[in-house]
Amino acid sequence: MAEKRRTGKQKQKGRIRKPARKPLDLQKRAFQVFAKQVDPLWSGLTNKCLEFAEGFNKALGAEELHVQAAPATLRVAYPRADVELVFQLDKAERFLQVWVNTDCAASGNCLTDQPSVGLTVNGGELQFVLAGEVISDERLAVRLLTQLTSGNSGQEPS
């Protein structure tokens, strides 16, 4: 007698077997998390930079650190040291770029190490990454703005 092949939908002990539900693609999940969480994450970073600048300026008794915020760009300028930190968010490409502008580097008199900042999805949460370390918006702002205002923005004579 010939054997009968069973398909996934044939009855097995009185039950119909359904095909297993395919898990959501990892990339698709990451894109969904980015879409839902990027605006609050960006706002959090903007607020932490503003708080840092407020405290810094209060401590100096003068408006020395300037923050300019836009939907996709965050610029923190420290004119006293001729340096600024720029965050550029590209929502379409899901990409964050951060760089330091200095008059020294622009004139070719020195090299500037650029901060290695990015984004990651970790445990269903969109987070910042600094030099390979997952970091909160507050720690990112404090670390980068402390470097910016301490004169340690990675400049080396060329």
In DSSP notation, 68-91 reads EE-SSEEEEEEGGGTEEEEEEEET
Asked, for residue 20, whether it belongs to a domain, the answer is no
- Residue 37 and residue 31: Cα distance in Å, rounded? 10
Between 17 and 41, name the one with better pLDDT. Answer: 41
- Residue 102 and residue 77: Cα distance in Å, rounded? 10
pLDDT at 23: 61
Which tokens sit at 108? 């070719």
Is the model's pTM score more than 0.75?
A: yes
Average pLDDT over residues 16-36: 81
Query: Which candidate, 142, 147, 42, places its Cα nearest to that of 87?
Result: 42
Cα separations (Å) of 32 from 50, 77, 83? 28, 33, 36
Asked, for residue 83, whether it belongs to a domain, the answer is yes
| 3 state SS of 38 | helix
Asked, for residue 18, whether it belongs to a domain, the answer is no
Domain coverage including residue 60: 25-157
| Rounded to 5°, angle at Cα 96 from 137 and 68 | 65
Average pLDDT over residues 107-117: 74
Which tokens sit at 151? 């004169």
pLDDT at 158: 39
* Res. 157: pLDDT tops 50: no
Asked, for residue 60, whether it belongs to a domain, the answer is yes
Asked, for residue 89, whether it belongs to a domain, the answer is yes
- CATH for 130: 3.30.920
Asked, for residue 30, whether it belongs to a domain, the answer is yes
Which tokens sit at 26? 């990892």
Asked, for residue 66, whether it belongs to a domain, the answer is yes
- Residue 99 and residue 113: Cα distance in Å, rounded? 9
Which tokens sit at 12? 């097995």
How many structural domains does the chain have? 1
Asked, for residue 19, whether it belongs to a domain, the answer is no
Average pLDDT over residues 45-71: 97
Q: How confident is the model at residue 134 (pLDDT cuts 50, 70, 90)?
A: very high
